[in-house]
Amino acid sequence: MLRTLAGMVFAGVVLGGCAATPPPDVATPLDAQTPKGAGVVQVATDPKIETVAAVSDGPRSGGPWIGAAGGSDFVLSGTSETVLGVWVDVPTGMQKGHAPSAVSLVIDTSGSMAGPKMDNARASARALVERLKDGDIVSILTFSDEAQERLAPTVLSASTRPTIDRVIAGLQPLGGTNMFEGLRMGESRSFNAPATHPVRRVVVLSDGIANVGPSSPQILGELAAKGAEHGIQVTAVGVGLDYDENTLNALAVRSSGRLYHVSEFGEMSAMLEREIGLLQATAATGAFIEVMPAPGVQILGADGIRTEWGQGGSMRIPLGTMFGGQHREALLRVRVTASGDGQRPLASVRFHFQDPTDGNLERVQEVVARYQVTTDRVAIDQHQNQKTRSILATQEA
Protein backbone atom coordinates (compact mmCIF):
# COMPACT_ATOMS: atom_id res chain seq x y z
CA MET A 1 0.00 0.00 0.00
CA LEU A 2 1.52 3.31 -1.06
CA ARG A 3 1.69 6.08 1.47
CA THR A 4 2.82 9.63 0.86
CA LEU A 5 6.27 10.53 2.17
CA ALA A 6 9.60 12.04 1.23
CA GLY A 7 14.10 11.03 0.42
CA MET A 8 15.96 11.24 0.23
CA VAL A 9 16.52 10.20 0.18
CA PHE A 10 17.66 9.58 -1.82
CA ALA A 11 16.00 11.04 -0.17
CA GLY A 12 15.07 12.65 -2.95
CA VAL A 13 13.79 15.91 -3.13
CA VAL A 14 10.68 17.81 -4.09
CA LEU A 15 8.68 20.90 -4.74
CA GLY A 16 5.59 22.76 -3.94
CA GLY A 17 7.09 26.01 -2.71
CA CYS A 18 10.59 24.60 -2.88
CA ALA A 19 10.93 24.24 -6.63
CA ALA A 20 11.81 27.36 -8.51
CA THR A 21 9.25 28.71 -10.98
CA PRO A 22 9.70 26.70 -14.20
CA PRO A 23 10.05 28.16 -17.65
CA PRO A 24 6.82 28.60 -19.63
CA ASP A 25 5.02 25.37 -20.56
CA VAL A 26 7.21 23.36 -18.20
CA ALA A 27 5.54 21.06 -15.70
CA THR A 28 6.33 21.34 -11.99
CA PRO A 29 7.52 18.09 -10.36
CA LEU A 30 5.08 16.23 -8.15
CA ASP A 31 5.51 14.91 -4.62
CA ALA A 32 6.85 11.40 -4.27
CA GLN A 33 5.06 8.50 -2.66
CA THR A 34 6.75 5.66 -0.87
CA PRO A 35 5.46 2.51 0.76
CA LYS A 36 4.80 2.40 4.46
CA GLY A 37 6.10 -0.75 6.10
CA ALA A 38 7.24 -2.02 9.46
CA GLY A 39 10.88 -1.37 10.11
CA VAL A 40 11.42 0.03 6.64
CA VAL A 41 13.56 3.05 5.87
CA GLN A 42 12.85 5.01 2.71
CA VAL A 43 15.06 7.56 1.01
CA ALA A 44 12.69 10.40 0.86
CA THR A 45 13.31 11.41 -2.67
CA ASP A 46 14.26 7.86 -3.30
CA PRO A 47 17.31 9.23 -5.10
CA LYS A 48 20.24 7.13 -6.05
CA ILE A 49 23.30 8.26 -7.81
CA GLU A 50 26.32 7.20 -9.89
CA THR A 51 27.76 7.93 -13.31
CA VAL A 52 28.78 6.63 -16.68
CA ALA A 53 28.49 8.10 -20.14
CA ALA A 54 25.39 6.13 -20.99
CA VAL A 55 25.00 3.30 -18.53
CA SER A 56 26.38 2.41 -15.13
CA ASP A 57 26.49 -1.00 -13.52
CA GLY A 58 27.41 0.41 -10.14
CA PRO A 59 30.14 2.35 -8.38
CA ARG A 60 33.67 1.72 -9.52
CA SER A 61 36.79 2.24 -7.49
CA GLY A 62 38.31 5.53 -8.54
CA GLY A 63 35.61 6.10 -11.16
CA PRO A 64 32.79 8.65 -11.27
CA TRP A 65 29.80 8.23 -8.96
CA ILE A 66 27.37 9.93 -11.34
CA GLY A 67 25.65 8.26 -14.30
CA ALA A 68 22.99 9.22 -16.82
CA ALA A 69 21.26 7.81 -19.90
CA GLY A 70 18.21 8.46 -22.04
CA GLY A 71 15.27 6.08 -22.19
CA SER A 72 16.74 4.66 -25.39
CA ASP A 73 20.05 4.94 -27.20
CA PHE A 74 18.04 6.24 -30.18
CA VAL A 75 15.73 9.25 -30.58
CA LEU A 76 13.27 9.72 -33.42
CA SER A 77 14.13 12.37 -35.98
CA GLY A 78 11.97 15.46 -35.55
CA THR A 79 10.49 16.60 -32.24
CA SER A 80 9.68 14.00 -29.62
CA GLU A 81 9.61 13.52 -25.86
CA THR A 82 11.66 11.03 -23.91
CA VAL A 83 13.15 10.59 -20.45
CA LEU A 84 16.61 11.03 -18.97
CA GLY A 85 17.61 8.83 -16.06
CA VAL A 86 20.20 10.16 -13.61
CA TRP A 87 21.74 8.23 -10.74
CA VAL A 88 24.50 8.45 -8.16
CA ASP A 89 26.16 5.56 -6.35
CA VAL A 90 28.55 6.45 -3.56
CA PRO A 91 31.16 3.68 -3.32
CA THR A 92 31.16 1.46 -0.27
CA GLY A 93 34.32 0.69 1.66
CA MET A 94 35.92 3.98 0.67
CA GLN A 95 38.12 5.71 3.23
CA LYS A 96 36.04 8.34 4.97
CA GLY A 97 36.85 10.97 7.51
CA HIS A 98 34.40 11.97 10.19
CA ALA A 99 32.39 15.01 9.14
CA PRO A 100 31.39 16.87 12.32
CA SER A 101 27.61 16.90 12.71
CA ALA A 102 25.06 19.30 14.18
CA VAL A 103 21.92 17.34 15.04
CA SER A 104 18.66 18.77 16.36
CA LEU A 105 16.52 16.11 17.99
CA VAL A 106 12.88 17.24 17.85
CA ILE A 107 10.60 15.03 19.95
CA ASP A 108 6.81 14.90 20.06
CA THR A 109 5.82 15.13 23.74
CA SER A 110 2.08 15.51 23.18
CA GLY A 111 -0.37 13.56 25.32
CA SER A 112 -0.67 10.76 22.77
CA MET A 113 2.97 9.86 23.44
CA ALA A 114 2.18 8.77 26.99
CA GLY A 115 3.25 5.29 28.10
CA PRO A 116 5.52 2.99 26.07
CA LYS A 117 5.86 5.53 23.25
CA MET A 118 7.48 8.08 25.54
CA ASP A 119 9.67 5.42 27.15
CA ASN A 120 10.88 4.40 23.72
CA ALA A 121 11.38 8.00 22.61
CA ARG A 122 13.66 8.58 25.59
CA ALA A 123 15.59 5.38 24.83
CA SER A 124 15.91 6.42 21.19
CA ALA A 125 17.20 9.87 22.13
CA ARG A 126 19.83 8.28 24.37
CA ALA A 127 20.85 5.90 21.60
CA LEU A 128 21.21 8.78 19.15
CA VAL A 129 23.37 10.83 21.51
CA GLU A 130 25.52 7.85 22.46
CA ARG A 131 26.35 7.22 18.81
CA LEU A 132 27.36 10.81 18.12
CA LYS A 133 31.05 11.53 18.54
CA ASP A 134 32.64 13.93 20.98
CA GLY A 135 32.88 17.27 19.21
CA ASP A 136 29.53 16.87 17.46
CA ILE A 137 26.79 19.31 18.41
CA VAL A 138 23.38 18.22 19.67
CA SER A 139 20.27 20.13 20.69
CA ILE A 140 17.03 18.72 22.09
CA LEU A 141 13.67 20.32 21.43
CA THR A 142 10.16 19.13 22.16
CA PHE A 143 6.73 20.08 20.91
CA SER A 144 3.27 19.71 22.42
CA ASP A 145 1.00 22.78 22.67
CA GLU A 146 4.15 24.80 22.04
CA ALA A 147 7.80 24.10 21.27
CA GLN A 148 10.43 24.19 23.98
CA GLU A 149 14.20 24.09 23.86
CA ARG A 150 15.23 21.47 26.41
CA LEU A 151 18.92 21.57 25.53
CA ALA A 152 20.63 24.43 23.74
CA PRO A 153 23.18 23.41 21.08
CA THR A 154 25.85 21.63 23.08
CA VAL A 155 29.24 20.24 22.05
CA LEU A 156 29.40 16.60 23.09
CA SER A 157 32.11 15.66 25.56
CA ALA A 158 32.58 13.48 28.62
CA SER A 159 31.53 16.41 30.80
CA THR A 160 28.34 17.34 28.88
CA ARG A 161 26.89 13.85 28.27
CA PRO A 162 25.55 13.38 31.87
CA THR A 163 23.64 16.67 31.60
CA ILE A 164 22.10 15.55 28.32
CA ASP A 165 21.03 12.25 29.88
CA ARG A 166 19.22 14.13 32.64
CA VAL A 167 17.39 16.30 30.11
CA ILE A 168 16.20 13.24 28.19
CA ALA A 169 15.07 11.47 31.37
CA GLY A 170 12.90 14.44 32.28
CA LEU A 171 10.79 14.45 29.10
CA GLN A 172 7.07 14.06 29.89
CA PRO A 173 4.04 13.90 27.52
CA LEU A 174 1.22 16.45 27.76
CA GLY A 175 -0.96 18.57 25.45
CA GLY A 176 -1.43 18.92 21.69
CA THR A 177 0.92 18.60 18.73
CA ASN A 178 2.55 21.82 17.47
CA MET A 179 4.94 20.24 14.98
CA PHE A 180 5.46 23.47 13.04
CA GLU A 181 7.08 25.28 15.96
CA GLY A 182 9.16 22.22 16.87
CA LEU A 183 10.49 21.91 13.34
CA ARG A 184 11.08 25.64 13.00
CA MET A 185 13.07 25.75 16.22
CA GLY A 186 15.05 22.62 15.30
CA GLU A 187 15.99 24.05 11.90
CA SER A 188 17.08 27.34 13.45
CA ARG A 189 19.49 25.52 15.77
CA SER A 190 21.01 23.55 12.90
CA PHE A 191 21.17 26.66 10.72
CA ASN A 192 23.24 28.49 13.31
CA ALA A 193 25.76 25.65 13.65
CA PRO A 194 29.36 26.70 12.96
CA ALA A 195 30.89 26.11 9.53
CA THR A 196 33.11 23.46 11.12
CA HIS A 197 30.03 21.17 11.28
CA PRO A 198 28.93 20.63 7.65
CA VAL A 199 26.47 17.78 8.36
CA ARG A 200 23.25 19.34 9.63
CA ARG A 201 20.21 17.25 10.38
CA VAL A 202 16.90 17.56 12.16
CA VAL A 203 15.47 14.29 13.49
CA VAL A 204 11.71 14.46 14.11
CA LEU A 205 10.02 11.73 16.18
CA SER A 206 6.23 11.79 16.16
CA ASP A 207 3.33 9.38 16.57
CA GLY A 208 0.42 11.48 15.44
CA ILE A 209 -1.05 14.35 13.47
CA ALA A 210 -0.08 17.99 13.90
CA ASN A 211 -3.13 19.78 15.38
CA VAL A 212 -1.77 23.01 16.87
CA GLY A 213 -0.55 25.93 14.76
CA PRO A 214 0.13 25.66 11.00
CA SER A 215 -0.33 21.96 10.38
CA SER A 216 -0.94 21.14 6.71
CA PRO A 217 1.61 18.90 4.92
CA GLN A 218 2.16 21.72 2.40
CA ILE A 219 3.09 24.31 5.00
CA LEU A 220 5.28 21.93 6.99
CA GLY A 221 6.90 20.70 3.78
CA GLU A 222 7.69 24.26 2.73
CA LEU A 223 9.32 24.87 6.11
CA ALA A 224 11.48 21.78 5.61
CA ALA A 225 12.37 22.99 2.10
CA LYS A 226 13.55 26.33 3.48
CA GLY A 227 15.92 24.46 5.75
CA ALA A 228 17.17 22.39 2.84
CA GLU A 229 18.27 25.58 1.11
CA HIS A 230 20.82 25.88 3.93
CA GLY A 231 21.90 22.24 3.82
CA ILE A 232 19.58 21.05 6.60
CA GLN A 233 17.97 17.66 6.00
CA VAL A 234 15.10 16.15 7.96
CA THR A 235 14.92 12.56 9.14
CA ALA A 236 11.27 11.87 9.96
CA VAL A 237 10.38 8.94 12.19
CA GLY A 238 6.74 7.87 12.21
CA VAL A 239 5.83 5.92 15.34
CA GLY A 240 3.02 3.37 15.45
CA LEU A 241 0.22 2.94 12.93
CA ASP A 242 -1.59 6.25 13.40
CA TYR A 243 1.06 8.77 12.39
CA ASP A 244 0.44 11.30 9.61
CA GLU A 245 2.42 9.85 6.71
CA ASN A 246 1.48 12.74 4.41
CA THR A 247 3.13 15.28 6.68
CA LEU A 248 6.23 13.24 7.48
CA ASN A 249 6.59 12.46 3.79
CA ALA A 250 6.58 16.16 2.97
CA LEU A 251 9.28 16.86 5.58
CA ALA A 252 11.58 14.18 4.22
CA VAL A 253 11.05 14.73 0.50
CA ARG A 254 11.32 18.46 0.52
CA SER A 255 14.50 18.44 2.57
CA SER A 256 16.17 15.54 0.66
CA GLY A 257 16.01 13.57 3.87
CA ARG A 258 14.62 10.18 4.83
CA LEU A 259 11.49 8.68 6.33
CA TYR A 260 11.42 5.79 8.76
CA HIS A 261 8.30 3.94 9.83
CA VAL A 262 8.32 2.10 13.13
CA SER A 263 5.38 -0.23 13.70
CA GLU A 264 6.83 -1.68 16.89
CA PHE A 265 8.31 0.74 19.36
CA GLY A 266 11.30 -1.47 20.08
CA GLU A 267 12.54 -0.85 16.52
CA MET A 268 13.11 2.86 17.00
CA SER A 269 16.41 2.73 18.85
CA ALA A 270 17.96 0.46 16.24
CA MET A 271 16.76 2.68 13.40
CA LEU A 272 18.14 5.84 14.98
CA GLU A 273 21.45 4.09 15.59
CA ARG A 274 21.51 3.23 11.90
CA GLU A 275 20.81 6.86 11.04
CA ILE A 276 23.73 8.07 13.13
CA GLY A 277 25.90 5.36 11.57
CA LEU A 278 25.12 6.90 8.19
CA LEU A 279 25.95 10.38 9.42
CA GLN A 280 29.32 9.11 10.56
CA ALA A 281 29.94 7.51 7.15
CA THR A 282 29.53 10.82 5.34
CA ALA A 283 31.21 10.81 1.93
CA ALA A 284 29.83 14.08 0.54
CA THR A 285 28.16 17.21 1.85
CA GLY A 286 26.32 19.98 0.04
CA ALA A 287 25.75 17.58 -2.86
CA PHE A 288 23.60 18.40 -5.87
CA ILE A 289 23.15 17.30 -9.47
CA GLU A 290 23.20 19.85 -12.27
CA VAL A 291 21.64 18.81 -15.60
CA MET A 292 22.51 21.05 -18.55
CA PRO A 293 20.51 20.22 -21.70
CA ALA A 294 22.37 20.07 -25.02
CA PRO A 295 21.30 22.25 -27.96
CA GLY A 296 17.95 21.02 -29.27
CA VAL A 297 16.98 19.56 -25.90
CA GLN A 298 14.53 21.05 -23.38
CA ILE A 299 14.01 19.77 -19.85
CA LEU A 300 10.27 19.64 -19.16
CA GLY A 301 10.31 18.64 -15.52
CA ALA A 302 10.87 15.86 -13.00
CA ASP A 303 8.43 13.98 -10.80
CA GLY A 304 8.97 12.79 -7.25
CA ILE A 305 12.06 14.89 -6.54
CA ARG A 306 12.81 18.39 -5.34
CA THR A 307 14.20 20.48 -8.17
CA GLU A 308 15.33 24.00 -8.96
CA TRP A 309 15.51 25.67 -12.36
CA GLY A 310 18.78 27.26 -13.47
CA GLN A 311 20.08 29.35 -16.32
CA GLY A 312 19.69 28.14 -19.88
CA GLY A 313 16.87 25.75 -18.95
CA SER A 314 19.16 23.69 -16.72
CA MET A 315 17.86 21.83 -13.69
CA ARG A 316 19.43 21.40 -10.29
CA ILE A 317 18.56 18.49 -7.97
CA PRO A 318 19.65 19.11 -4.35
CA LEU A 319 20.84 16.01 -2.50
CA GLY A 320 22.47 17.32 0.65
CA THR A 321 24.61 14.89 2.62
CA MET A 322 25.45 11.49 1.13
CA PHE A 323 26.99 8.39 2.65
CA GLY A 324 29.13 5.45 1.57
CA GLY A 325 26.98 2.89 -0.24
CA GLN A 326 24.08 5.29 -0.78
CA HIS A 327 22.15 5.25 -4.07
CA ARG A 328 20.05 8.12 -5.40
CA GLU A 329 18.21 8.35 -8.70
CA ALA A 330 15.96 10.72 -10.61
CA LEU A 331 13.98 10.75 -13.84
CA LEU A 332 13.66 13.88 -15.98
CA ARG A 333 11.20 14.42 -18.81
CA VAL A 334 12.81 16.03 -21.88
CA ARG A 335 11.81 17.21 -25.35
CA VAL A 336 14.28 16.58 -28.16
CA THR A 337 14.34 18.24 -31.58
CA ALA A 338 16.71 16.29 -33.83
CA SER A 339 17.38 16.03 -37.57
CA GLY A 340 19.92 14.39 -39.82
CA ASP A 341 22.06 11.46 -38.76
CA GLY A 342 24.73 10.76 -36.20
CA GLN A 343 25.26 10.75 -32.48
CA ARG A 344 24.23 13.80 -30.44
CA PRO A 345 24.64 14.89 -26.81
CA LEU A 346 21.47 14.78 -24.76
CA ALA A 347 22.73 16.52 -21.62
CA SER A 348 25.75 17.18 -19.47
CA VAL A 349 25.08 15.80 -16.00
CA ARG A 350 27.35 17.08 -13.23
CA PHE A 351 27.61 15.92 -9.62
CA HIS A 352 28.80 18.69 -7.30
CA PHE A 353 29.80 18.00 -3.71
CA GLN A 354 32.20 18.85 -0.91
CA ASP A 355 34.62 16.12 0.11
CA PRO A 356 34.93 15.84 3.92
CA THR A 357 38.01 13.64 3.53
CA ASP A 358 39.80 16.56 1.83
CA GLY A 359 38.86 19.42 4.13
CA ASN A 360 35.49 19.94 2.36
CA LEU A 361 37.22 20.51 -0.97
CA GLU A 362 34.65 21.26 -3.67
CA ARG A 363 34.59 18.57 -6.36
CA VAL A 364 32.69 18.02 -9.60
CA GLN A 365 32.11 14.84 -11.61
CA GLU A 366 30.58 14.94 -15.08
CA VAL A 367 29.04 12.53 -17.54
CA VAL A 368 27.49 13.25 -20.95
CA ALA A 369 24.38 11.30 -21.96
CA ARG A 370 24.12 10.81 -25.74
CA TYR A 371 21.66 9.53 -28.33
CA GLN A 372 21.58 8.46 -31.98
CA VAL A 373 19.10 10.04 -34.41
CA THR A 374 16.91 7.56 -36.28
CA THR A 375 13.70 7.32 -38.32
CA ASP A 376 13.20 3.70 -37.25
CA ARG A 377 10.79 3.38 -34.31
CA VAL A 378 11.75 -0.27 -33.93
CA ALA A 379 15.35 0.73 -33.24
CA ILE A 380 14.16 2.90 -30.35
CA ASP A 381 12.34 -0.02 -28.74
CA GLN A 382 15.21 -2.43 -29.36
CA HIS A 383 17.83 -0.18 -27.77
CA GLN A 384 16.14 0.92 -24.56
CA ASN A 385 18.44 1.69 -21.67
CA GLN A 386 17.65 -0.80 -18.93
CA LYS A 387 18.92 1.40 -16.11
CA THR A 388 16.71 4.33 -17.06
CA ARG A 389 13.75 2.08 -17.83
CA SER A 390 14.13 0.53 -14.38
CA ILE A 391 13.94 3.98 -12.78
CA LEU A 392 10.83 4.73 -14.88
CA ALA A 393 9.15 1.45 -13.90
CA THR A 394 9.84 2.09 -10.22
CA GLN A 395 8.40 5.59 -10.44
CA GLU A 396 5.29 4.39 -12.27
CA ALA A 397 4.75 1.69 -9.63
Average pLDDT, the chain: 77
pLDDT at position 170: 94
pLDDT tens digits for range 369-386: 999 999 999 999 999 999
CA 32 – CA 254 distance, rounded (Å): 10
Q: How confident is the model at residue 251 (pLDDT cuts 50, 70, 90)?
A: confident
Average pLDDT over residues 316-330: 85
Angle at 328 between CA 233 and CA 304, to 5 degrees: 75
pLDDT at position 44: 32
> Of 92 and 84, which is predicted with more confidence?
84
pLDDT exceeds 90 at position 235: no
pLDDT exceeds 50 at position 48: no
pLDDT exceeds 80 at position 10: no
Model-wide pTM > 0.85: no
pLDDT exceeds 60 at position 46: no
CA 6 – CA 187 distance, rounded (Å): 17
> Of 12 and 235, which is predicted with more confidence?
235
pLDDT exceeds 80 at position 9: no
Tally of CB atoms within 10 A around 334: 25
pLDDT tens digits for range 209-225: 777 877 677 777 777 77
> To the nearest whole percent, how much of the chain has pLDDT over 70?
76
Burial class (CB in 10 A: 0-12, 13-18, 19+), 29: buried
pLDDT exceeds 50 at position 205: yes
pLDDT tens digits for range 146-190: 999 999 999 999 999 999 999 999 999 988 888 888 888 988 898
68-77, 213-222, 253-262: which has the highest mean pLDDT? 68-77
Rounded to whole angstroms, what are the CA distances from 99 to 35, 60, 135, 276, 289? 31, 23, 10, 12, 21
Give the three-state DSSP class for 288.
strand
Average pLDDT over residues 269-281: 72
pLDDT at position 40: 30
Average pLDDT over residues 290-303: 96
Could you tell me which of 34, 91, 28 has the C-alpha nearest to residue 351? 91
pLDDT exceeds 50 at position 71: yes
CA 116 – CA 210 distance, rounded (Å): 20
> Of 395 and 129, which is predicted with more confidence?
129
Q: How confident is the model at residue 62 (pLDDT cuts 50, 70, 90)?
A: low
> Of 212 and 298, which is predicted with more confidence?
298
Ranges 75-89, 213-227, 289-303: which has the least confidence? 213-227
Rounded to whole angstroms, what are the CA distances from 252 to 43, 90, 228, 388? 8, 20, 10, 24
> To the nearest whole percent, how much of the chain has pLDDT over 90?
35
pLDDT at position 115: 84
